[in-house]
Protein backbone atom coordinates (compact mmCIF):
# COMPACT_ATOMS: atom_id res chain seq x y z
CA UNK A 1 0.00 0.00 0.00
CA UNK A 2 2.81 2.36 1.00
CA UNK A 3 4.73 1.42 -2.14
CA UNK A 4 1.69 2.19 -4.32
CA UNK A 5 1.20 5.64 -2.78
CA UNK A 6 4.95 6.33 -3.08
CA UNK A 7 4.85 5.39 -6.74
CA UNK A 8 1.74 7.53 -7.35
CA UNK A 9 3.43 10.51 -5.72
CA UNK A 10 6.64 9.90 -7.70
CA UNK A 11 4.62 9.79 -10.95
CA UNK A 12 2.74 13.01 -10.11
CA UNK A 13 5.97 14.81 -9.22
CA UNK A 14 7.83 13.45 -12.26
CA UNK A 15 5.12 14.41 -14.74
CA UNK A 16 4.76 17.89 -13.23
CA UNK A 17 8.52 18.42 -13.22
CA UNK A 18 9.07 17.11 -16.75
CA UNK A 19 6.19 19.12 -18.24
CA UNK A 20 7.06 22.36 -16.42
CA UNK A 21 10.74 22.17 -17.39
CA UNK A 22 9.85 21.26 -20.99
CA UNK A 23 7.29 24.03 -21.25
CA UNK A 24 9.70 26.67 -19.94
CA UNK A 25 12.44 25.36 -22.25
CA UNK A 26 10.12 25.69 -25.28
CA UNK A 27 9.09 29.21 -24.21
CA UNK A 28 12.78 30.10 -23.77
CA UNK A 29 13.64 28.74 -27.22
CA UNK A 30 10.80 30.56 -28.98
CA UNK A 31 10.91 33.91 -27.21
CA UNK A 32 14.65 34.29 -26.79
CA UNK A 33 16.69 32.07 -29.05
CA UNK A 34 14.55 32.22 -32.19
CA UNK A 35 14.34 36.03 -31.96
CA UNK A 36 18.11 36.35 -32.15
CA UNK A 37 20.13 36.72 -35.28
CA UNK A 38 23.36 35.60 -33.59
CA UNK A 39 24.24 32.04 -32.61
CA UNK A 40 21.90 32.20 -29.64
CA UNK A 41 24.41 32.48 -26.80
CA UNK A 42 22.79 35.65 -25.41
CA UNK A 43 19.68 33.60 -24.67
CA UNK A 44 21.42 32.27 -21.56
CA UNK A 45 21.18 35.80 -20.09
CA UNK A 46 17.59 34.97 -19.20
CA UNK A 47 17.37 31.23 -18.79
CA UNK A 48 13.76 30.71 -17.68
CA UNK A 49 13.91 26.88 -17.28
CA UNK A 50 16.06 27.40 -14.16
CA UNK A 51 12.80 28.39 -12.42
CA UNK A 52 11.51 24.83 -12.95
CA UNK A 53 14.64 23.44 -11.27
CA UNK A 54 14.38 25.77 -8.28
CA UNK A 55 10.63 25.45 -7.73
CA UNK A 56 10.40 21.67 -8.20
CA UNK A 57 13.38 20.95 -5.93
CA UNK A 58 12.12 23.40 -3.28
CA UNK A 59 8.66 21.84 -3.32
CA UNK A 60 9.31 18.18 -4.11
CA UNK A 61 12.93 17.69 -3.01
CA UNK A 62 14.84 14.60 -4.19
CA UNK A 63 11.72 13.18 -5.88
CA UNK A 64 12.02 15.73 -8.70
CA UNK A 65 15.67 15.00 -9.60
CA UNK A 66 15.11 12.02 -12.01
CA UNK A 67 12.46 13.92 -14.01
CA UNK A 68 14.61 17.05 -14.08
CA UNK A 69 17.53 15.02 -15.43
CA UNK A 70 15.31 13.32 -18.04
CA UNK A 71 13.72 16.64 -19.05
CA UNK A 72 17.13 18.26 -19.39
CA UNK A 73 18.47 15.46 -21.61
CA UNK A 74 15.28 15.37 -23.70
CA UNK A 75 15.12 19.15 -24.20
CA UNK A 76 18.86 19.45 -24.93
CA UNK A 77 18.84 16.69 -27.52
CA UNK A 78 15.44 17.03 -29.20
CA UNK A 79 14.53 20.72 -28.82
CA UNK A 80 17.88 22.49 -28.33
CA UNK A 81 19.46 20.21 -30.95
CA UNK A 82 16.88 21.33 -33.52
CA UNK A 83 17.96 24.94 -33.03
CA UNK A 84 21.66 24.11 -33.21
CA UNK A 85 22.26 24.36 -29.46
CA UNK A 86 24.13 21.88 -27.25
CA UNK A 87 26.12 20.23 -30.00
CA UNK A 88 27.81 17.98 -27.44
CA UNK A 89 28.61 14.29 -27.47
CA UNK A 90 26.10 12.19 -25.53
CA UNK A 91 28.51 11.79 -22.57
CA UNK A 92 28.69 15.57 -22.14
CA UNK A 93 24.93 15.97 -22.57
CA UNK A 94 24.46 13.48 -19.72
CA UNK A 95 27.20 15.15 -17.62
CA UNK A 96 25.86 18.70 -17.97
CA UNK A 97 22.27 17.49 -17.52
CA UNK A 98 23.23 15.73 -14.29
CA UNK A 99 24.92 18.87 -12.94
CA UNK A 100 21.92 20.98 -13.92
CA UNK A 101 19.49 18.53 -12.29
CA UNK A 102 21.34 18.42 -8.96
CA UNK A 103 22.57 22.05 -8.77
CA UNK A 104 19.64 23.26 -6.65
CA UNK A 105 20.01 20.31 -4.29
CA UNK A 106 23.76 20.99 -4.00
CA UNK A 107 22.99 24.66 -3.33
CA UNK A 108 20.58 23.66 -0.53
CA UNK A 109 23.27 21.45 1.06
CA UNK A 110 25.78 24.30 0.72
CA UNK A 111 23.30 26.67 2.42
CA UNK A 112 22.67 24.09 5.15
CA UNK A 113 26.43 23.88 5.62
CA UNK A 114 26.52 27.66 6.01
CA UNK A 115 24.03 27.47 8.88
CA UNK A 116 20.60 27.66 7.24
CA UNK A 117 18.04 25.31 8.75
CA UNK A 118 16.08 23.51 6.03
CA UNK A 119 13.49 21.17 7.53
CA UNK A 120 12.76 19.23 4.35
CA UNK A 121 16.37 18.53 3.36
CA UNK A 122 17.12 14.77 3.55
CA UNK A 123 20.35 13.23 4.92
CA UNK A 124 21.23 16.36 6.86
CA UNK A 125 21.09 17.10 10.56
CA UNK A 126 20.83 20.76 11.33
CA UNK A 127 22.07 22.37 14.52
CA UNK A 128 19.99 24.39 16.98
CA UNK A 129 21.62 27.71 16.15
CA UNK A 130 20.74 27.48 12.43
CA UNK A 131 18.79 30.15 10.54
CA UNK A 132 15.38 28.81 9.54
CA UNK A 133 14.83 28.71 5.78
CA UNK A 134 11.25 28.20 4.52
CA UNK A 135 11.21 26.74 1.01
CA UNK A 136 7.57 27.89 0.62
CA UNK A 137 8.43 31.56 1.12
CA UNK A 138 9.12 33.52 -2.07
CA UNK A 139 11.90 35.60 -0.48
CA UNK A 140 13.70 32.45 0.65
CA UNK A 141 13.16 30.91 -2.80
CA UNK A 142 14.88 33.94 -4.32
CA UNK A 143 17.83 33.34 -1.97
CA UNK A 144 17.93 29.68 -3.07
CA UNK A 145 17.82 30.89 -6.69
CA UNK A 146 20.93 33.02 -6.18
CA UNK A 147 22.84 30.20 -4.46
CA UNK A 148 21.75 27.61 -7.05
CA UNK A 149 22.66 29.93 -9.93
CA UNK A 150 26.15 30.24 -8.44
CA UNK A 151 26.48 26.46 -8.00
CA UNK A 152 25.08 25.77 -11.48
CA UNK A 153 27.26 28.27 -13.32
CA UNK A 154 30.39 27.30 -11.38
CA UNK A 155 29.89 23.56 -11.82
CA UNK A 156 29.18 23.92 -15.54
CA UNK A 157 32.19 26.20 -15.98
CA UNK A 158 34.47 23.67 -14.22
CA UNK A 159 32.96 20.79 -16.23
CA UNK A 160 33.39 22.62 -19.54
CA UNK A 161 36.95 23.59 -18.59
CA UNK A 162 37.93 20.03 -17.57
CA UNK A 163 36.32 18.52 -20.67
CA UNK A 164 37.96 21.20 -22.87
CA UNK A 165 34.55 22.34 -24.17
CA UNK A 166 35.00 25.98 -23.19
CA UNK A 167 37.35 27.93 -20.93
CA UNK A 168 35.72 31.34 -21.32
CA UNK A 169 35.08 32.86 -17.84
CA UNK A 170 32.41 35.11 -19.37
CA UNK A 171 30.23 31.99 -19.55
CA UNK A 172 30.18 31.76 -15.74
CA UNK A 173 28.86 35.35 -15.40
CA UNK A 174 26.33 34.83 -18.21
CA UNK A 175 24.93 31.63 -16.68
CA UNK A 176 24.85 33.14 -13.18
CA UNK A 177 22.96 36.27 -14.27
CA UNK A 178 20.76 34.31 -16.70
CA UNK A 179 19.62 31.76 -14.12
CA UNK A 180 18.67 34.46 -11.61
CA UNK A 181 16.93 36.70 -14.13
CA UNK A 182 15.10 33.80 -15.77
CA UNK A 183 13.79 32.48 -12.46
CA UNK A 184 12.64 35.90 -11.28
CA UNK A 185 10.88 36.62 -14.58
CA UNK A 186 9.11 33.22 -14.47
CA UNK A 187 7.96 33.52 -10.86
CA UNK A 188 6.69 37.08 -11.30
CA UNK A 189 4.96 36.21 -14.60
CA UNK A 190 3.24 33.21 -12.99
CA UNK A 191 2.15 35.39 -10.10
CA UNK A 192 0.85 38.03 -12.48
CA UNK A 193 -1.03 35.43 -14.56
CA UNK A 194 -2.61 34.00 -11.43
CA UNK A 195 -3.71 37.51 -10.49
CA UNK A 196 -5.22 38.03 -13.95
CA UNK A 197 -7.16 34.77 -14.03
CA UNK A 198 -8.34 34.27 -10.46
CA UNK A 199 -8.93 37.80 -9.25
CA UNK A 200 -12.33 38.43 -7.70
CA UNK A 201 -14.54 40.29 -10.15
Q: Please count the residues of this chain forming the interface with other proteins, following the rule CB under 8 A.
A: 23
d(CA 87, CA 102): 22
Q: Which is nearer to other proteins, 91 or 195 (CB)?
A: 195
183, 20 contact by CB (below 8 A) = no
Q: Does 19 bind other proteins (CB under 8 A)?
A: no
With CB under 8 A as the contact rule, which of the stretches 8-16, 39-47, 100-108, 160-168 interacts with other proteins?
8-16
d(CA 83, CA 106): 30
Least gap, CB of 86 to other proteins (angstroms): 29
With CB under 8 A as the contact rule, which of the stretches 33-41, 105-113, 134-142, 162-170 interacts with other proteins?
134-142
21, 50 contact by CB (below 8 A) = no
Q: Which is nearer to other proteins, 2 or 128 (CB)?
A: 2
Partners of residue 110 on adjacent β-strands: none
Return the residues of window 29-88 that contact other proteins according to CB under 8 A: 55, 59-60
* Long-range contacts at 79-83 (CB < 8 A, ≥ 24 apart): 79/22, 79/25, 79/26, 79/29, 80/25, 80/29, 83/29, 83/33, 83/34, 83/40
Q: Which is nearer to other proteins, 21 or 172 (CB)?
A: 21
Least gap, CB of 38 to other proteins (angstroms): 27
d(CA 146, CA 107): 9
**Binding stretches for other proteins (CB under 8 A):** 2, 5-6, 9, 12-13, 16, 55, 59-60, 136-138, 141, 187-188, 190-192, 194-195, 199, 201
Amino acid sequence: MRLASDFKYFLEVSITTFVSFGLLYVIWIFFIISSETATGFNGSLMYVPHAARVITICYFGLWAVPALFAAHVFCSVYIGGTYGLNQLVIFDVLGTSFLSAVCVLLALYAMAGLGFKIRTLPFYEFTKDSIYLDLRNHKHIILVTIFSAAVHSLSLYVYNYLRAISSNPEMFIRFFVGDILGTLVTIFTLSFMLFAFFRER
